[in-house]
Amino acid sequence: MTAFFMNTVRNVSVVLAVAASLSAVTSTASYAFSEDARSQCTGDAFRLCSSEIPNIPKITACMVKNRSSLSTGCRTVMDRDFAAQKSKVAAQ
């Protein structure tokens, strides 16, 4: 029972860390991604970049570095969000 409890606590902690990290991403201007990106990319963040959690800039860099390994949905929304960020910067 203790091993089960410890695994459950660990899994919940990891989920909360990723949720907090991805939530912080949207509140930081240079790493502002959509809700769609968070929902599409959470699995990829766990799979490819779990060692970088909860460091937002490192998670983002890891996701960009591993772009070819991202799921199609995540890659699509990240590309869209990066394009939107670039157009905002160009408009300023």
Q: Single out the residue of 13, 91, 23, 14 nearest to residue 56, CA to CA.
A: 23
pLDDT at 90 over 90: no
Q: Each residue of 44-58: pLDDT tens digit?
A: 999 999 998 888 888
- Cβ(6)–Cβ(32) under 8 Å? no
Instruction: Tell me the pLDDT band of 9, cut-offs 50, 70 and 90.
Output: low
The first and second tokens of residue 78, run together, are 């990240």
Q: Each residue of 22-33: pLDDT tens digit?
A: 555 444 444 556
Q: Is the pTM of this model over 0.85?
A: no
- Cβ(25)–Cβ(60) under 8 Å? yes
Task: Pick 63 or 26 by higher pLDDT.
Answer: 63
